[in-house]
């Protein structure tokens, strides 16, 4: 059989077998609505209740890189051979019958045998089923950070959707204070129990993969994703009101404690409240998440003073960036970040900007606050 025909069919088989996917990926379009939360659901052209299951491993593996390298090598070989050989037609004497082609397409045979025993090439032509670990069926990736990725999973016992954060220790070691931040976040999530705080389900390890799996309640997305998809990157008044009330007061006031007040009551200073760290659950309840840089105050501490400054620069309070004090009120700094978040949600802008970080800090510390002019504000709010 001519090499050109073999290569063409082999490339098609590789592409078909290595890119099988079950379930549509979400595509977002802009749909305006004054009803809180409606736009989030309308933006997804595929229902948010559809589980996206990837056929293959629950995580990226070195084999996938090898497969991509093989495909690229075959493509380059194909281009090189074009210069020296003409395409040969497949005739009856080639030995590739219609039945043979159909069996190859159906996955019942190989176009040519593996290069050698134990070669990863064999994996290219074998279909992998959805992966299951520790009682969870792994689905599509829904997020990724510097040292972790987040995937959607289904509890095989209850069929409840969850999210799992897969933390790679090899990447974590490269992040300053990475291990410390992960341990702190897990400790805090084990401690706090509130409707407006993301709920930790369980944690497990796979030692052979050197990875940590943190299972959390499933959320549709973040407020930041809503802003990114919205017209002029801002939410409607109704949406802004709903999510900000959830952030400050909570959905059902959770007994006598409001959501942010609850965190402070148990000695937690979040330090990084912003739209990206505010998730929206399936029933449109706001969930405070990402406690990686949060600080646990000592129960013997007389006040809420903090010394370490962490968080996102645009959301930091003036006393944190002025350079005039060695400590600051942790609870007050969280409230300031909530105010910047409100400003951002309603206007799509930030109260202070700066071309470089030092200019931004100088503006936060000394510039006058100017209320947004691209939205109509109640007269009592205009300064």
Annotated binding-site residues for ATP read 165
Q: Alpha-carbon distance 116 to 114, whole Å?
A: 5
Question: Alpha carbon of 1 to those of 8, 77, 89, 106, 111: distances in Å?
Answer: 12, 17, 10, 20, 10
272 is catalytic: yes
Q: Alpha-carbon distance 264 to 259, whole Å?
A: 9
8 A C-beta contact, residue 124 and residue 114: no
Question: Alpha carbon of 375 to those of 218, 240, 241, 286, 350: distances in Å?
Answer: 33, 13, 14, 23, 13
- The rounded Cα 356 to chain-centroid distance in angstroms is 27
Q: Alpha-carbon distance 366 to 364, whole Å?
A: 6
- Taking only Cα atoms into account, the Rg of the chain, rounded to an integer number of angstroms, comes to 27
Catalytic-role residue among 246, 272, 290, 334: 272
What is residue 37's three-state secondary structure? coil
Feature table: binding site: 165
Q: Alpha-carbon distance 310 to 72, whole Å?
A: 44
Residue positions annotated with a catalytic role: 272
């Amino acid at each position: 059989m001519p090499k050109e025909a073999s290569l063409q069919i082999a490339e098609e088989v590789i592409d078909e077998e290595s890119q099988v996917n079950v379930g549509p990926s979400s595509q977002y379009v802009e749909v305006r609505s004054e009803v809180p939360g409606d736009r989030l659901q309308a933006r997804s052209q595929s229902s948010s209740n559809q589980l996206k299951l990837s056929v293959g491993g629950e995580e990226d593996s070195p084999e996938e890189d090898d497969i991509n390298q093989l495909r690229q090598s075959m493509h380059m070989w194909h281009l090189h051979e074009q210069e020296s050989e003409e395409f040969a037609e497949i005739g009856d004497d080639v030995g590739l019958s219609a039945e043979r082609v159909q069996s190859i397409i159906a996955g019942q045979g190989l176009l040519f045998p593996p290069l050698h025993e134990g070669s990863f090439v064999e994996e290219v032509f074998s279909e992998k089923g959805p992966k299951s670990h520790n009682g969870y069926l792994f689905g599509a990736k829904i997020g990724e950070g510097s040292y972790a990725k987040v995937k959607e999973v289904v509890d095989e016992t209850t069929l409840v959707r969850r999210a799992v954060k897969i933390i790679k220790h090899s990447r974590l070691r490269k992040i300053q204070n990475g291990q410390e931040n992960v341990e702190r976040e897990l400790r805090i999530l084990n401690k706090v129990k509130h409707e407006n705080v993301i709920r930790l389900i369980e944690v497990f390890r796979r030692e052979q993969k050197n990875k940590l799996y943190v299972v959390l309640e499933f959320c549709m997305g973040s407020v930041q994703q809503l802003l990114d998809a919205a017209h002029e990157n801002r939410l409607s008044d109704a949406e802004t009101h709903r999510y900000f009330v959830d952030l400050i007061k909570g959905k059902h006031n959770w007994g006598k404690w409001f959501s942010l007040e609850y965190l402070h009551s148990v000695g937690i200073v979040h330090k990084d409240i912003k739209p990206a760290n505010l998730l929206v659950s399936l029933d449109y309840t706001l969930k405070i998440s990402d406690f990686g840089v949060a600080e646990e105050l000592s129960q013997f501490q007389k006040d809420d003073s903090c010394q370490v400054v962490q968080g996102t620069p645009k959301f930091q309070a003036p006393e944190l960036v002025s350079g005039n004090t060695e400590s600051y009120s942790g609870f007050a700094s969280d409230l300031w970040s909530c105010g910047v978040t409100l400003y951002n949600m309603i206007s799509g802008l930030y109260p202070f900007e700066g071309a470089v970080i030092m200019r931004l800090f100088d503006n936060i510390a000394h510039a006058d606050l100017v209320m947004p002019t691209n939205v109509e504000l109640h007269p009592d709010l205009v300064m």
